[in-house]
């Protein structure tokens, strides 16, 4: 078996020497949906979470989920507004806010079920 020469450094912690390991990934900050997906994986799918973390696939997966959720949110809000037009914002502002919040809640429920908790 051919071994690659690696320069590994160690830190002493108590009586043990532990390797200084880091994951080399560009750390673009996660948005709301990426963080929600990460928490779901940590709490409900720990084996998958740890596997993805150790292979370096977790952060790209979370960014992909974030992007898909944002795209789906925009698309669904546009479709729902076409099907259910909002009241005139200038004449009845509270009804407009209530209508938009209702549509947003419907969209968020679909996103959570299809992308985050799947």
Q: Which residues have a Cβ under 8 Å from the Cβ of 31 and sit 6 or more positions away?
A: 66, 70
For residue 1, pLDDT beyond 50: no
- Rounded-to-integer distance, Cα 92 and Cα 99, Å: 11
pLDDT single digits (tens) 11-67: 999 999 988 877 665 678 899 999 999 999 999 999 999 999 988 899 999 999 999
What average pLDDT is seen over the chain? Answer: 90
pLDDT single digits (tens) 19-29: 887 766 567 88
pLDDT > 70: what percent of the chain?
Answer: 92
- Rounded-to-integer distance, Cα 69 and Cα 33, Å: 7
Q: Which residues pair with 18 in a beta bridge?
A: 11
Give yes or no for a contact between 56 and 23, defined as CB atoms under 8 angstroms apart. yes
- Rounded-to-integer distance, Cα 91 and Cα 76, Å: 25
Strands (E) located in the chain: 10-13, 16-19
pLDDT at 4: 56
- Rounded-to-integer distance, Cα 76 and Cα 80, Å: 6
Q: What is residue 84's DSSP assignment?
A: S
pLDDT at 19: 85
pLDDT at 6: 65
């Amino acid at each position: 078996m051919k071994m690659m020469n690696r320069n590994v450094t160690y830190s002493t912690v108590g009586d043990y020497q532990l390797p200084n390991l880091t994951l080399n990934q560009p750390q673009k900050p996660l948005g709301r949906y990426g963080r929600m997906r990460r928490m779901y994986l940590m709490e409900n799918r720990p084996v998958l979470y740890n596997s993805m973390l150790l292979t370096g696939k977790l952060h790209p997966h979370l960014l992909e989920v974030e992007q898909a959720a944002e795209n789906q949110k925009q698309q669904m809000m546009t479709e729902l507004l076409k099907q259910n037009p909002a009241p005139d914002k200038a004449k009845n502002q509270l009804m407009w806010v209530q209508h938009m919040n209702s549509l947003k809640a419907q969209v968020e429920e679909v996103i959570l079920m299809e992308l985050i908790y799947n």
